[in-house]
Amino acid sequence: MYSTTIDIRVRYGETDQMGYLYYGNYALYYEVGRTDAIRQLGFTYRELEEQGVIMPVAELQVKYLRPAYYDDVITVKTILKSLPDNHKIQFHSELYNQKGELLNVGVTTLAFIDAKNRTRMHMPEVMRQKLAAFF
């Protein structure tokens, strides 16, 4: 298993008139978590793109357990439970508030795509090598 955490403070513009973090904005938080999980491996998603790999999202599942509020510091835990064995990778996200309460869980499945011809590809070797140590 590979797991990282990063803190994000809820912005005013991310709330809605209900006073909650808007349900669509959690996707941004998961993205920040995934990006940081990759960075902590020693390379970046930005570099992957520069090398011609893009990772569009194929599936998203979210459970909203408790609302997140403006100015809350949300801890985003990003978990990779298994090494991908095909052209997809699945990240689990758990969001906690400052009291340690679980607010939200998400599962994001991304595809590895060759940016040039937009066809499926396997996980880049650099990523597999870095991740292998954790599994």
The nearest distance, CB 97 to its own copies, in angstroms, is: 14
- Residue 119 tokens read as 């066809």
The nearest distance, CB 66 to its own copies, in angstroms, is: 10
Active site (catalytic) residues? 16
Neighbouring C-beta atoms of residue 121, cutoff 10 Å? 15
Distance, in Å, from the CA atom of 126 to the CA atom of 48, rounded to the nearest integer, reads 9
79 or 115: CB nearest its own copies: 115
The nearest distance, CB 80 to its own copies, in angstroms, is: 18
Burial-class residue 134 by CB neighbours within 10 Å (0-12, 13-18, 19+). exposed
28 or 79: CB nearest its own copies: 28
- Residue 32 tokens read as 């920040």
52 or 135: CB nearest its own copies: 52
72 or 123: CB nearest its own copies: 72
Written as one letter, the residue type at 92 is H
The nearest distance, CB 135 to its own copies, in angstroms, is: 26
Say how many CA atoms lie within 13 Å of 55 toward its Cβ. Answer: 24
* Interface with its own copies (CB under 8 A): 9, 11-20, 22-28, 31-32, 35, 44-46, 49, 54, 56-64, 67, 70-71
- Residue 120 tokens read as 């499926």
Distance, in Å, from the CA atom of 127 to the CA atom of 124, rounded to the nearest integer, reads 5
